[in-house]
Structure 1
Amino acid sequence: MKSNITSNNNFLESRVSKLSTYIGIPIFGIITAFVFLDNDIAYFSIEFFAHMLISTIITSFYWLTSRWIVKKLWKKYPWHLEPLKHILIEVPALLFSAIAITSLSWLVFYFTREEMMWDTLKFNITIIILLVLFLSTYHEALFFFFQWKENFNKSAVLEKEKMEARYESLKNQVNPHFLFNSLNTLLSQVKENSETSNYIHNLSDFLRYSLQDDELGIKALNDEINIVKNYCFLQKSRFGKNLQLTMEVPAAINHFALPKLSLQMLVENAIKHNIISDEKPLYIRIYIKDEYIVVENNLQKRFEEESTKQGLTNIRKRYKFLSAKDILIQEKNDKFTVELPLLTITTK
C-alpha cells in the first residue's frame, strides 16, 4: 500500500510539474520579453518575434535550472531534516546558475545591440534576480506540497497498520495472565537455580517483553540487548556450544534506542536461515559502528530454507517512519551483516 501511495504521488508530481513547465515557460518568456523590449523594436515585426523566441528560450533555462537545483536539494537535504544545508547550498547554486545563464544571454545580444547603459544594466540584473527568486520559491512550494501530501498519506497508512497489528496481536496471543501464572506454577515445581528454572525465568522475561504494548514502538538499547541475551539463552538449550553470541556494546551508548525487537529479529533470522551443527557452528557478533549497531554472522545457508526477507522488510518499513537513515544489508564472502541506525530517545 505504501509503495502504491508513493508511486501515485510521484505520478501526480510528474504530471503537475510537466504541466506547470509547459504553461509557465511561455508565459514568463512573453512577460520578460516585454520587460526587456527596446522602444525601437516595432510590434509584430520579425525582430519582435525573434526577441520573443530568444526571451522564451532564456527563460526556459532559468526555469529548468532552478527546478533541477531545488529537486536535487530536496532529495539530498530535505527541508524538514536539514534546512540549514539546504539553504546554504541553494542560494549560491541559484546565484551561480543565474550569473552563468545571464552571461550567455548577454553574449547573444552583444553583437546585435548597443552597449548597455549602467541604469539599464542595473534594471536588467534586478529583474533577473526577482525572476530567479520567484522561480525557486515556486519550485520550493511545489516540493513542500508534495512532501506534505506524502507525509500525510504515510501517517494514515501507519495508523491503519498499527490498528491491524494490534488486532492481529489480540487475535493470536494467549492470555498473558494465564500464561505467566502457568509459568510461575511450573517454576514453583522445579528446583531454584537449576537449568530448568533458568530457562523458565528467561522464557517468562522474553514473553513479557514481547507482549508489552508500546505506543512509540521503540525501546532503550539496553532493553533490546538484554532481550537478545534472553533469546539466545533459550536457543542455546537447543544448540548448545554450536551457537555463539558475542556482544561488543559499550555501556556509554545506552542512551540510544532501537525499534522494539528489531535486534532479536535479526538474531532469529541468522539462526533460522543458517546451518548450526558441530561441524558448522554459528557465530553471531553484535557491535557498534559509528552510529549504527551491527549484527554479523558467518554465512552457511540452509538451501532448503528459502528466505522471504519479510523480517528485514518489516524492519525497513519501521525505520522509514522513525529515521531518515535506512538499514544497511550486506552479504559478502562468508559473512552476512545488517546495520541498524541508532535512534535518539526524545524526552518531553
Structure 2
Amino acid sequence: MKRKDFIILLWISLGTSLFFFLFFTDEHSLKSFMLTLLISSMYSFLIGIGNGFINDFLNKKFPWSEATTKRAIVSIACILVANFIIVYFCNYMNFVVFQKNATTEQFFSGKYNFTNWFMVNIALLISAFLHAKGFMEELKKTSRKEVVEQKLIAKSANAQFETLKNQLDPHFLFNSLNVLSSLIDENPKQAQKFTASMSKIYRYVLEQKDKELVTVEDEMEFAKTYCELLKTRFENSVDFIFDVQKEDYRRYVVPLSLQLLLENCIKHNFATSSKPLVIKVFSENDTLCIENNLQVREQMKESAGIGLANIVQRYSLLTKRNVFIEKSEDYFKVKLPILMEKPNVISAQPNDNDAAYEKAQKRVKEIKSFYSNLISYCIIIPFLAIINLTTSPKNIWFYFPMLGWGIGLVAHGMSVFAIGKNWEDKKIREILEKQNKQ
C-alpha cells in the first residue's frame, strides 16, 4: 500500500475513535480515548491493509482488464474469508484482551454472534467499496493506455505512409532524368519531345502523390501517357496492350502503381525491335494485372527494389488484400487489388472492429453501473445502520433496506458477471445452430 493510503487510514482511525469516544464512552479521560484510538486503529488498519493486500495480489494474478468475471468471483471468495477472519480477530482482541468484557469461552460460546455478524457485514461493505475503487482506477489506467496506444499506432501509420509516398517523387524524377540523359545522345529531337511530355506527367505525380487512392480511370490515363513517353525512346521495341473493363474504372488503386510497375518492366527486361517487350495491362477478378514477357537483362548493379516494395507496403496500410506476384519461365505478372471503396489510412483498421468496440464499450458501461450501485450500497446502508442503532437500538429496521437492496445488488451482479449478455448470445447461437441443422 502507498503512503497516501496509510494517511487515509490514520484519519479514519482518528475520526471513528472521536465518534465512539464522544457518543458511546461513559468515561471521558485520556486513557479511555487512547484505548478507543487503539481499538479504532486496529480495526481500520487490519481491514484496510488486509483488503489492500488482497486487491494488490489479485491485480497481479487476475487483472480486471483481462479476466473480469474470474476476478469478480475470486474477489468475492477472498474478501468473504479474509474479512471473516479479520473481524473475528479484531473483536476477540477488543472484547477479550483490551476491554476484558468477556472470556475466551464466552466469546466463542455465541454471546457475541450478533456483534461478529454485524461487524463482518460492515467490513464486507468497506471491502467491497475498496475493491470497487480499485476496479475503477484500473479501468481508467487501461482506458488511458489504450488511447495512448491507438494514438501511437495512428501516428506510426501516418508517418509510414508519408515516408512511402515521399519515395515516389525523387524516384520518378531520377529514373526520368536517366531516360532523358540517354535520349540526348541518341536522338536530341526526341529528347525535346520527351522533356515536354515529362512535364505533363510530373504534374500528375505531384497532384496524386499525396492521395491514398485514385480511380482506375485516372491511373489508366496517366499510364497511357507514360507509355507514350516510353514509346518516344524505345519506339518499336516495346508494345503496350490495355484491356481494362469499363466497370472497374470507378474503383480504386494505389496512385502511381502502374507507373512504377511499367518502369520495372523496362528496367529489368531488354527490349529490341526483333524481340519486343510486350506489356499487358488488364483487369481480372477484382485485380488490375500488369504482365510482361520475360526477357531478363543482366543487371550491372543490384536493384534498390523501391518500386514493387513501395506498392506492397502502401496496400498493406490500406487493405487486408494482398498484392500477388506470378513468375514463370515465360512471363512476369503483378496483380494489384482493385478496391470497391476508398478507405482511410488511419481508420481502416479500427473500422473492422467497430462491432467489437461497441460491444466492449457496452460491457464497460454495465460493469461501471454495477459498481456504482455497489458503492452506493456501501455508503448508504452503514449510514442507515448507524442511525438505527443510535436512535432506536431495540427496534432494528435497517435489515429491510439492507436485505432488499442486497438481493437486488446480487441479481445485478449475476446479470453482469454470470448470466448477462454472454449467456444470451450463447443461447441465441445455440438456437440458430439447431435451426440450421434441421
Which bin holds the TM-score, normalised by the shorter protein? 0.3 to 0.5
What TM-score do the two structures reach when normalised by structure 2? 0.38
What TM-score do the two structures reach when normalised by structure 1? 0.47
Q: Which has the higher helix share?
A: 2
Which of these two proteins has the greater Rg computed from alpha carbons?
2
